Amino acid sequence: MNPLLKVEELNKHFPLTPPQNVFKRWARLNHQTSYLHAVDNVSFTLNKGESLGLVGESGCGKSTLVRLLTRLLDPSGGRILFNDRHIGEVQAKEFALHPERAKIQQVFQDPTDSLNPRFTAFECIADPLKRLEKLNGLALQNRVEGIATQVSLPLTLLERYPHQLSGGQKLRVGIARGIALQPDLLILDEPTSALDVSVQAVILKLLDKLRCELGLSYLFVSHDLNVVRLLCDRVMVMYLGKIVEIGPVEEIFQRPRHPYTKALIAAVSHFDAGGPVQRVRLQGELSSPVDPDPHACRFYGRCPVRENRCLKQMPELEETGIHRSACLLSQSG
C-alpha cells in the first residue's frame, strides 16, 4: 500500500453565533459559544491509484470534509498529509501558492455554479493552465484540445458558454478543468447527482477510463451507494460528522456491520430487486450536530438495535482491519 493522502483525527467545528443558534438559547445567556460538529475526529488513508467513495445523507459533513482536504477551509484540529506533506498546517488563504495545490483538484457538485459564466468552455479549461503553467498561444490551444478529447468533449463545443451546454457537457468541462494540471488526486463532490441516469452512466464510465489512463486517485462523494459501487474500490460511510464504517466496497455491500450502513444498503437492495428507489427510512430522532454528547453514539436516536450502553460510550472505528465499523454491538459481536 502506498498512501497518497492520510487524514488523522480531523475536525471542523463551526462556532455558532447566538442568533443562529436556536438549539441552545441557554448558551447565549451563559455567554458560551456552541459548536456545530460538521467533521468530527475523522481518520482515513487513500492509497495511490485508489478510488475511495464517501457516502452519507445530506448534511452529514461530506462537503465540509472535501473543503478541508482541498484547503478551502481551515480545520479546527487534526492533520492532513498529502504526499507526506502536512498540508493541513498551511492556512487556507495561502494554499493557492503551495506546491501541492495543483496536485489536488476538485470537480464540483453543480457545474453551473462552478464554471465562470463569462468564460467559454475553452477558457474554463485554459484558465488553470494559463495561471499555473503560464501556457499561451499554440501550446495552450493544443493542450486544451488534447484534454477536451480525453474527456470526449467535441472540439466544436469549446467556443460555447456554459449556458449553451447540456448538463453532461458542462460536467465534461468541469472534469477537463480538474485534470488539466495533471493532479494526483481528483475529489468529486456529487458530480453526477443532477444528471439523468443514462448520462450519469456515461460519465461514470469516462471517470473510470480516466483513472486508469492517468493513474489518478479519486475521492468520490455521493449520497448514492449504487454509484459508489460502480466506481470505487473502497467506501467510507459518514453519519453526523463521523465515519461509521469503512472497507472494500463489495465487502460492505455483502456484510455491512453498522446499522446505518445496513439501512442504506436495504434501500439500494430494494431497488436492485426491481422495486422503486426507496428513501432511507429511519425511525426515531435525529441527533443534533450542535454540541453533541461526547459519550453517546450519534446514531442512538434512530438505531433499531440500540442498547443503554450506547448512551454511555461513544463507539469509535475499530483501529485495525480492512473492514472497520464504529458500533458497540458489531464490535462485541
Ligand X SMILES: Nc1ncnc2c1ncn2[C@@H]1O[C@H](COP(=O)(O)OP(=O)(O)O)[C@@H](O)[C@H]1O
* Contacting positions for Mg ion (CB under 5 A): 62-63
If one asks whether residue 328 binds ligand SF4 (CB under 6 A), the answer comes out as yes
CB 62 within 8 A of CB 228: no
H or E, element range at 228: helix 225-231
If one asks whether residue 14 binds ligand X (CB under 6 A), the answer comes out as yes
Rounded Cα distance between 232 and 229, Å, is: 6
Q: Are strands 104-107 and 234-239 parallel, antiparallel or unpaired?
A: unpaired
CA distance from start to end of the chain:
29
C-alpha cell at 59: 448534511
Beta carbon of residue 220, minimum distance to Mg ion (angstroms, whole number): 13
**Backbone angles phi and psi of 324, in degrees to 5:** -125, 145
CB 82 within 8 A of CB 104: yes
- Taking CB under 6 A as the criterion, the residue among 25, 59, 196, 277 binding ligand X is 59
Region binding ligand SF4 by CB under 6 A among candidate stretches 11-19, 59-67, 191-199, 299-307 = 299-307
Beta carbon of residue 222, minimum distance to ligand X (angstroms, whole number): 10
- Choice between 81 and 282, CB closer to ligand SF4: 282
- Choice between 78 and 289, CB closer to ligand X: 289
The site map against ligand SF4 for 237-266 (x = CB under 6 A) is ---------------------xx-------
State the number of binding residues for ligand X (CB under 6 A): 12
Alpha helices in 61-166 (DSSP H): 62-69, 111-114, 121-133, 137-150
Contacts with ligand SF4, residue ranges (CB under 6 A):
258-259, 297, 299-300, 303, 305-307, 310, 315, 327-329
Contacts with ligand X, residue ranges (CB under 6 A):
14, 36, 38, 56, 58-64, 289
